[in-house]
Amino acid sequence: EDQVTQSPEALRLQEGESSSLNCSYTVSGLRGLFWYRQDPGKGPEFLFTLYSAGEEKEKERLKATLTKKESFLHITAPKPEDSSTYLCAVQPIGGSNYKLTFGKGTLLTVNP
């Protein structure tokens, strides 16, 4: 069974204080790893898809990286508007590759 573990569960940063979120996964074969953000009362909002170890993607203050066992979401000089719950999900290879397995998320709070 595919598993996704995210750490830490919660992270509190000061504005401008860079840090990283971790997503460890086990999957029989990885087709893609997804990062989403989810604000209170809303659905997940897509951020990135990573497909192979060594791949990196950037968007504003966020950079996602991927290895064979984990992914990191690096946040550089965060702002209060980056406060959200960040979700990681894996997409398996094979017949059920439409099923995403999500982690529980990391709640990020950025204080001004």
Kindly list the residues in this chain that would bind another protein in the complex (CB under 8 A): 4, 31-32, 34, 36, 41-46, 49, 51, 87, 89, 91, 96-105
Looking up tokens 């909002």 gives 45
Q: Apex CA 45: angle with CA 60 and CA 40, to 5°? A: 105
Considering the complex, state which of residue 31 and residue 69 has its C-beta at the smaller distance from another protein: 31
Question: Residues 103, 4: contact at Cβ < 8 Å?
Answer: yes
Q: Hey, how many other C-beta atoms are within 10 angstroms of the C-beta on 109?
A: 13
**Least distance from C-beta 36 to another protein, angstroms?**
8
Helix (H, G, I), strand (E, B) or coil at 52: coil
89 versus 110: smaller Cβ distance to another protein:
89
Between 17 and 58, CB nearer to another protein:
58
Closer residue to another protein (CB): 79 or 99: 99
Minimum CB distance to another protein, residue 44 (Å)? 5
Q: What are phi and psi of 15, to 5 degrees?
A: -50, 130
CB of 64 to another protein, least distance (A): 13
